[in-house]
Chain A
Amino acid sequence: MTLALVGGTHRTVPLALRERLAFTADQAAEALERFRDRFPGREGVLLSTCNRVEFYAAGEADAAAPPHDELVSFLAECRGLDAQALAPVLGRERDEAVARHLFGVAAGLDSMVLGEPQILAQVKQAWALAQDSRTTGPLTAGMFQAALRTAKRVAAETALGRERVSIPSVAVADFASGVFERFDDKRVLLVGAGKMAAETLRYLREAGARDVVIVNRTASRATDLASRLDARPAEFADLERELVAAELVVSTTGSSEPVVSLDLFDRAAAHREGRPLVVLDLAVPRDFDPAIGTRPGVWLYCVDDLAAACEANRRRRQREIPQALAIVEEETRRFMGDVHHRTTAPVIEQLRAGWNETGSAELERLFRRLPHLAAGDREEIRQAFERYAAKMLHPPLASLRNESHAGPPHGLLDALRRLFNLQE
């Protein structure tokens, strides 16, 4: 049994090369078909995301996983690249290290944003595509199932993916949601049409926000963005009135001066009837006068505030790494134990067959000598023989299983073959 991996990530492959190496879903399906034709009897799974392209191959003893060089050439051919240029930047792993790597990838430990959950869905998609392309088998099935189990354990037993690390997600989940219980009855005001506004609005929509108004100095941009984001455009001149109606403001203009001065805000606040207001000022320079944050009932957060919270969350994620790695290590040992145990299957089969054959012969002889035995009695005796054989076989099989945890149990297998005269 062999496992092999070649692949590159954002850490090892330059972006320009990574773009050319990346596979679309159709290209990946085509590549897997080529793999099946070129390496019959082998198993293969291709994982291609924005940040990584990895090919996992596996094979049994009679059809071992292809050597790394052949896999590199195969990937290069699939994408029309020069294998010589590709070889130095692609990582290579073998056997146990392959499983360990995949488990870490699935758990988000190898991601650009540590602990991000999207990679798990991508691993599942890669596995499903390989299944559809009929390039999977018992080895990759076991390995990918173990990878999914590892990812679930890391998510449940550590806080690796729990803390948010992007500014829009932190702004909504850690701050706006700390003030408001629900967003479906709140007015959201987007000031400006920056990219961060759209991203923040995506999280607000997920949280339930429905009533969204966009104001922008350029009215046409506000209208464009409003139509794209299913929102309502408003005149920039109406900003004060919109501030009165809003509960949450996301501001992302490119203005060099504050868009909302303290005076403007105070005029609006006088008509707000004490309702709380969350302001996510994501513009640099800031759109809201910082003094507005000192007004009662106003929760004002600028980019630096949110970035500091993101950084704190990132540090918390880092602290979870040792525990996550311990889970990966535990699952790797468990998986490799299972894999090594698989290599003992032919010997166990021969051993069982030999015992059953001998037992059946003895039973036949016994039944010939005792022809008066009733059918029920014969069945009882047959079951007793089977139980005896199973009990006698249990200790050597348990020893084989235990030995498999430390590696392929070649010594024990050899001893069993010699003791019981089994064939290779």
Chain B
Amino acid sequence: MAPFLSGISIVCFAASYAVALACEASRLVFRSGVRGAVMVTFAAAGLVAHTLFLGWRAVSSGTVPLSSPFDWYLLAAWLLAAGYLWLTIANPRTPVGLFLLPVVLALVGAASLASREPFLHDAASRFWGRIHGGFHLVWSVSVVLGAIAGLMWLIQAGRLARKQAPLQGFRMPSLERLAHVTARTPAIAAWAAAAGFVSGIVLNAVNRRRGLIETVPWTDPVVLRMAAVVAWLIVADWMTSTARRRPDGGRTTAWLALVSLAVMAGSILWGLFGSTQHGRPAAAAPAMRVEATP
């Protein structure tokens, strides 16, 4: 069993998701009676391989899913892939994969560029590290889902404004349903990001006090950018709640969700390529692993 599990690589499930995405894209070109089954089969196979990969990594290296930037991206991709599978089975005629799967593949791609080195903390920091990483995962997934719903809202509204019948194989959910998602995700994202930020501050303070690991300076770019992201998400949530009672509130909310995604993407790119002390292990620190965020 171990050779089989250790043979599963990122390419295995990324390829499965890519095939599922190609099937989704083919909806626009031709009709097929078996495409739905093929799509779900590949997505499910990808998700199983993805799960086994994360599980094997946890067992073989003793890490837990949020232990490194690499694991964090893969767990975020796993959540979105599971969401895609569920939505596709529940709404087989909605091409949600055209929007979700590119994000899943982008996250897998980001994982391949991200560090696989576990964040090193002492045991006392593990609790706060887990909370910090978990909240970051929640707000990131919320922002992605909100942005996808927002993009679908704009496409559907454009079609309705142009007074065109739906395209073959490209039937969007109703504006009402999409607006429901875009109106709720900003609040989840804002609260989770704020909680993630605060828990990060606590984690840093704990690390500083114990001095067991190199801490993040309070003026580190990652602290500043996260503060900016949290501020934006709180503003976006406030704007969303005030826009809901306006006739053009759906459009405003959709755009706000897309801007939030752009802010998050910028933050991730900064994390990947920018300079920061965040998550850098101290050379002499004991090899204890804890969950955190990239």
Which of A's residues lie within 8 Å of B, judged by CB? 156-159, 163, 170, 174-175, 177-182, 269, 272-274, 276, 295-299, 301, 305, 308-309, 312-313, 316
Contacts and interface: CB of A to CB of B under 8 A. Distances in A.
Interface residues of B, number: 26
Given A179-B175, A180-B175, A296-B246, 19 more contacts: A156-B33, A163-B165, A174-B165, A178-B160, A180-B174, A181-B173, A181-B174, A181-B177, A274-B245, A274-B246, A274-B247, A276-B247, A296-B251, A297-B248, A297-B250, A301-B163, A309-B163, A309-B165, A312-B165
B281 interface: no
Contacts of A273: 245
Nearest to A304: B163
Given A274-B249, A301-B163, A305-B163, A159 B168 contact: yes
Given A301-B163, A316-B168, A180 B176 contact: yes
Contacts of A296: 246-248, 251
Contacts of A316: 168
* Nearest 10 A/B pairs, CB to CB: A297-B247, A296-B248, A296-B247, A309-B165, A181-B174, A305-B163, A181-B176, A181-B177, A274-B245, A274-B246
B14 interface: no
A178 B174 contact: yes
25 contacts: A159-B31, A163-B165, A175-B163, A178-B156, A178-B172, A178-B174, A179-B160, A179-B175, A179-B176, A180-B174, A181-B173, A269-B247, A272-B247, A273-B245, A274-B244, A274-B246, A274-B249, A276-B250, A296-B246, A296-B248, A297-B247, A299-B160, A299-B161, A301-B163, A312-B164
Contacts of A272: 247
Interface of B: 31, 33, 156, 159-161, 163-166, 168, 172-177, 180, 244-251
A276 B176 CA distance: 9
Given A156-B33, A157-B31, A159-B31, A178 B247 contact: no
A305 B166 CA distance: 14
A345 B267 CA distance: 77
A182 B177 CA distance: 9
Nearest to A185: B176
A204 B269 CA distance: 48
Contacts of B180: 181
B176 A313 contact: no
Nearest to A162: B168
Query: Which residue, B159, B172, B175, has most C-beta atoms of chain A within 10 A?
Result: B175
Contacts of B33: 156-157
Contacts of B164: 309, 312
A309 B165 CA distance: 5
